[in-house]
Structure 1
Amino acid sequence: MAFAACSRDLNQLLVGLPSADWNALRLHLEWVELPQGAVLYESGEVLRHVYFPVTAVVSLVSSMKSGATAEVAVVGNEGVVGVCAFLGGGSSHSGAVVQRAGHGLRMSAQAIADQANRSPALSQQLLGYTQALLTHMTQTSACHRHHDVDQQLCRWLLLHLDRQPGQDLHVTHERIAGLLGVRREGVTCGALKLRKAGLIDYRRGRVSVLDRHGLEALSCECYAVVRQAYDRLSAAAAPRPVELHAAEPRPMRPMPLRAALAMA
């Protein structure tokens, strides 16, 4: 199927590459379907592929032996899933689960490492993104430790909203609680407060954001810190429209995490 040549339809890290670097990289890319709940890899697993989300959104999650989980970062079309592959690490310290179904570009871990070594432009893009991702992870950790559930809920909604079109998030309170590492009752109570304030509405399996500015006002500073890190990354890139032709998307079968996630 043809892939639109419009820059907004592509992963932003790839759009910013010079033509020669893109032409070398695209030979290794595969257009794939990423269904909700698909586990791209688990914590401690040796990475075989990296993923550049296009319309999909992926949660990076940390899992405990007890089965408890927490989202440490979220990746959309601004980034890449599997940074360990080009940083010299063979295995990941977190799992990666598709939160919003969509599509992405996949390539082997070996290919991305080889291409990064050959292309200073690609290496710079990847390292810049990794720096923003580390800021994201660090701020998320601080947020879990120092801010209440209501503020964490606002931050989570805003970060996921940034990575998809529209104002609706297809997610349950149970799923959000699992990703925040808190009790479901805490998320339900926080969501009720936001609905009474006219900021969101919700029904089973869907949260609709009605007043984004109001949500930002109630969120802790963590959202702004993370947003600014990615804004700096976007400002440093010079998007170039490219065109990709690829085969029909290959569906990926969802796989259960060993430490069970509270899936919707």
Structure 2
Amino acid sequence: MRFLHSPRQNKILAVLPDEELMRLLPFLEWVDMPLGQVIQEPGARSSQLYFPATCIVARMYNRKSGISKRVSMTGNEGVEDIFLLLAGNSPPATVVVQNPGYGYRIKAKILKKEFEAGGVLQQQLLRFSHALLLQTEQSVVEACQTTEQKLCAFFLMTLDRLSGDSMVMTHEFVSTMIGSRRESVSEAASILQREGAIQYRRRHITVVNRKLLEDRVGEGYAALKKEYDRLLLNEPCADPVRHSRAVLKKAHGY
């Protein structure tokens, strides 16, 4: 029987040597992550970290104006919440599932023990934390951009973490993600659709001309993507599902 899910679908877990992954496998729990699910609330103590496989999670902060602002998104290139490993606690943010899918959950104390042992896992998590810091800095720069530019950057960053060119989300949800009024998002999306950059239909947004988005978003996105690729680009397994199955058999002796 072919395994439908694999921890190797997360890029950090994908590059771990078999012996490192085998130590984690008994503690990695597959979890369904539906759109809009809140996996962390401000002020709540968290003891779990998530390795996204096919989903994307976003870290949000509430502003005095009542409008939330996304400061980062994490897909299968990383882990949420790395602050538990580096600082022992997490900043007061809301972490929500931005794009549905699934991932793998693990207790922070278990991952921290493996992290402190060094090895490839430690190296990859430190590289990811560097990339995440760069993304957070870029979100500050985006604050002075137009809604249209924010929307283009959001679509591009989301597609970079998905396997296709379509996203399931409403204008209201997008407005929360980029910190703009819903009316402004709808107007900007209409412009992009008329110009042939996207197609929007019943909660489904499809990018049909990526270059039009890239031309509008400015240099910030391109610089961030280049640095992300430099920090996180690794040789993936040719078949992560098959490789994971082999590791599981080895781990359990069958």
Corresponding position of 1:25: 24
TM-score under structure 2 length normalisation? 0.88
The yes-or-no answer on 1:177 pairing with 2:175 is: yes
Instruction: Output aligned runs, 1:91-240, within 5 Å.
Output: 91-144=90-143, 146-235=144-233, 237-240=234-237
Task: Give me the whole-angstrom Cα distance separating, in 2, the residues matched to 1:83 and 1:67.
Answer: 27
Task: Give me the whole-angstrom Cα distance separating, in 2, the residues matched to 1:44 and 1:222.
Answer: 31
Residues 221 and 44 of structure 1: CA distance in aligned 2, closer, same or farther (over 3 Å): farther
Corresponding position of 1:261: none
SS in 2 for 1:70: strand
SS in 2 for 1:165: coil
Q: Per-residue CA shift, 1:69-122, capped at 9, x if unaligned?
A: 111111111111101111023233422101111110110011111110113321
Task: Give me the whole-angstrom Cα distance separating, in 1, the residues matched to 2:46 and 2:101.
Answer: 21
Task: Give me the whole-angstrom Cα distance separating, in 2, the residues matched to 1:149 and 1:64.
Answer: 17
Alpha-carbon contact 1:132-1:229 (below 8 Å) kept: yes
Structure 1 counterpart of 2:179, which letter? G
Task: Give me the whole-angstrom Cα distance separating, in 1, the residues matched to 2:27 and 2:2.
Answer: 17
Task: Give me the whole-angstrom Cα distance separating, in 2, the residues matched to 1:104 and 1:13.
Answer: 12
TM-score under structure 1 length normalisation? 0.85
Structure 1 counterpart of 2:13, which letter? L
Corresponding position of 2:251: none
Structure 2: unaligned runs, 5 residues or longer: 249-254
Structure 1: unaligned runs, 5 residues or longer: 246-264
Task: Give me the whole-angstrom Cα distance separating, in 2, the residues matched to 1:56 and 1:171.
Answer: 13
Corresponding position of 1:16: 15
Structure 2 counterpart of 1:16, which letter? V
Higher relative contact order (CA 8 A, sep 6+): 1
Corresponding position of 2:50: 51
Task: Give me the whole-angstrom Cα distance separating, in 2, the residues matched to 1:3 and 1:54.
Answer: 14
Return 83-92 or 189-198, whichever deviates more.
Answer: 83-92
SS in 1 for 2:189: helix
**Greater helix content:** 2
Task: Give me the whole-angstrom Cα distance separating, in 2, the residues matched to 1:131 and 1:125.
Answer: 10
Task: Give me the whole-angstrom Cα distance separating, in 2, the residues matched to 1:239 and 1:200.
Answer: 30
Structure 2 counterpart of 1:243, which letter? S
Aligned-residue identity in percent: 35
* Deviation of the 1:2 alpha carbon: 6.1
Alpha-carbon contact 1:139-1:225 (below 8 Å) kept: no
Structure 2 counterpart of 1:200, which letter? I
* Deviation of the 1:67 alpha carbon: 3.7
Task: Give me the whole-angstrom Cα distance separating, in 2, the residues matched to 1:66 and 1:217.
Answer: 31
The yes-or-no answer on 1:243 pairing with 2:244 is: yes
Task: Give me the whole-angstrom Cα distance separating, in 1, the residues matched to 2:45 and 2:223.
Answer: 31
Alpha-carbon contact 1:47-1:92 (below 8 Å) kept: no
Alpha-carbon contact 1:140-1:222 (below 8 Å) kept: no
Corresponding position of 1:71: 70
Return 42-51 or 32-41, whichever deviates more.
Answer: 42-51
* Deviation of the 1:166 alpha carbon: 1.8
Residues 5 and 53 of structure 1: CA distance in aligned 2, closer, same or farther (over 3 Å): closer
SS in 2 for 1:81: coil
Task: Give me the whole-angstrom Cα distance separating, in 1, the residues matched to 2:56 and 2:76.
Answer: 8
